[in-house]
Amino acid sequence: MEGIGGDTASAASPVSQWGHDAWRLYQYYLDKTTPHAVYRWIGTLVIVAIYCLRVFYVQGFYIISYGLGIYLLNLLIGFLSPLVDPEIEVADGPLLPTKGSDEFKPFIRRLPEFKFWYSMTKAFCIAFVMTFFSVFDVPVFWPILLCYWIVLFVLTMRRQIAHMIKYRYIPFNIGKQYGGKKPSSSGGGSRGD
């Protein structure tokens, strides 16, 4: 019994090599999309539209849509939250400025935009595939799920906005931030006395 595992190891090697090569190719193209945020989001909106048309067409799979909505809400909270939450942790690194005299520090997200986009797109693709299996078509009264999700969204966003107001941060880049006084428009020389 010397050859146990020898034949299966050599047979699995080309399959694992092919899987590894396919993963590297996928990662290569995924990395190439990183600087093209607008096109990535347009592609995701197309996938969202296809998913919505599928659910509308089959008039079912509302429980999948509800689970997808809860997952997207979780992603949105991570996208809007700072990396270091001032309520939970006291860190030695950069913190959010809490006073007007504090130095401006850029907002660092807990969930970066690329990961937010990637997770959202992947979730819609998985949900779309799930709509082809009748085992996931659980009969539910969808208006109750929709109302419950809206209430959950409003309560969660209210809490998140209160957190933003309390710690004075905006999770979006609105332009260059200035601290202190604005620069004067005069030339700074003599007044012409």
Taking the chain (193 residues) in consecutive chunks of 10 residues, what is each chunk's mean pLDDT?
52 82 92 92 96 94 95 93 75 57 69 93 96 92 93 94 83 61 48 45
Residues 120, 72 contacting (CB under 8 angstroms): yes
Residues 6+ positions from 105 with CB-CB distance below 8 Å: 94, 95, 96, 97
Tokens of 144: 């109750």
pLDDT value for 39: 95
pLDDT value for 164: 84
Q: Please tell me the pTM assigned to this model.
A: 0.73
For 37, 40, 42, 84, 177, the CA distances from 174, given in Å and listed in that order, are: 17, 21, 22, 21, 8
Please state the φ and ψ torsions of residue 82, each to the nearest 5 degrees: -75, 155
CA atoms within 13 A on the CB side of 88: 6
As a three-state string, the secondary structure of the chain is CCCCCHHHHHHHHHHHHHHHHHHHHHHHHHHHCCCCHHHHHHHHHHHHHHHHHHHHHHCCCHHHHHHHHHHHHHHHHHHHCECCCCCCCCCCCCCCCCCCCCCCCCCCECCCHHHHHHHHHHHHHHHHHHCCCHHHCCCCCHHHHHHHHHHHHHHHHHHHHHHHHHHCCCCCCCCCCCCCCCCCCCCCCCCCC
For 31, 33, 42, 121, 182, the CA distances from 36, given in Å and listed in that order, are: 10, 5, 10, 15, 34
pLDDT value for 193: 42
Residues 125, 64 contacting (CB under 8 angstroms): no
pLDDT value for 15: 85
